[in-house]
Chains A and B, each alone.
Chain A
Amino acid sequence: MGLVARSAEAAGIPTLCLASALDITRAVNPPRAAFLDFPLGHTAGKPGDPELQRTILADALSSFASMAAPGTVRALPYRWSEDEDWKAKAFAEGDDRTARVDTPQYQTEEDRRKAEGNSPPSCPVCR
Chain B
Amino acid sequence: MAPVDYIPRIRDNYARLGYKPYNWVFNGIPPPWAPLAKPLSECRLGLAASGGVYVTGQVAFHHKDDTSIRDIPTDVDTKDLRATHFAYDLSVARRDPNVVFPIDPLRRLVREGFLGALAGTFQSFMGGIYSTRRVSEELAPKLVSRFLEEKADIVLLVPV
Please judge, given known A-B contacts A41-B89, A105-B63, whether A27 and B27 are in contact too, CB under 8 Å. yes
Q: Which of B27, B59, B109 contacts A104 (CB 8 A)?
A: B59
Nearest CB to that of A19 among chain B residues?
Answer: B159
Range, interface on chain A = 35 or more
Partner of B157 from A15, A50, A70, A119 at Cβ < 8 Å: A15
Residues on B with beta carbons closer than 8 Å to the beta carbon of A84:
1
Interface centre among B33, B49, B51 (most CB of A within 10 A): B33
Q: How far is the CA of A53 from the CA of B25 in the complex (A)?
A: 29
* Cβ contacts under 8 Å, A56 to chain B: 105
B76 within 8 A of A: no
Tell me the complex Cα distance, A90–B62, Å. Answer: 24
For the complex, give the distance between the alpha carbons of A71 and B94 in Å. 32
Cα-based distance from A12 to B46 in the complex (angstroms): 13
Residues of the B chain whose Cβ atoms lie less than 8 Å from the Cβ of A125 = none
B21 within 8 A of A: no
A 28-43 contacts with B by CB, 8 A: 28-31, 35, 37, 40-43
Determine whether A97 belongs to the interface, using a CB cutoff of 8 Å to chain B: yes
A57–B106 touching, CB < 8 Å: yes
Interface residues of A in 54-71 (CB under 8 A from B): 54, 56-58, 60-62, 64-65, 69-71
Digitize A98-117: 1 where CB-to-B-CB distance is under 8 Å, 0 elsewhere.
Answer: 11111111111011101100
Of the residues A21, A54, A95, A115, contact of B105 by C-beta under 8 Å: A54
**Residue-by-residue, is B79-110 near A (CB-CB < 8 Å gives 1, otherwise 0)?**
00011101111101111101111101110110
Asked if residues A23 and B64 are in contact (CB atoms below 8 Å), the reply is no
Known: A15-B154, A37-B3, A87-B1. A1 touches B50 (CB 8 A): yes
B7 touches A24 (CB 8 A): yes
**Which one, A8, A29, A98, A108, contacts B82 given CB within 8 A?**
A108
Measured CB to CB, the closest approach of chain A to B37, in angstroms, equals: 8
Which residues in B have some Cβ–Cβ distance to A below 8 Å?
A: 1, 3-7, 9-10, 13-14, 16-17, 24-37, 39-40, 43, 45-46, 48-51, 56-66, 82-84, 86-90, 92-96, 98-102, 104-106, 108-109, 114-115, 127-128, 132, 135-136, 139-141, 143-144, 147-148, 152-160
16 pairs, CB–CB < 8 Å, chain A vs chain B: A7-B140, A7-B141, A13-B152, A14-B36, A23-B6, A29-B30, A31-B33, A47-B96, A50-B108, A54-B109, A64-B40, A90-B9, A91-B9, A107-B60, A107-B90, A115-B57
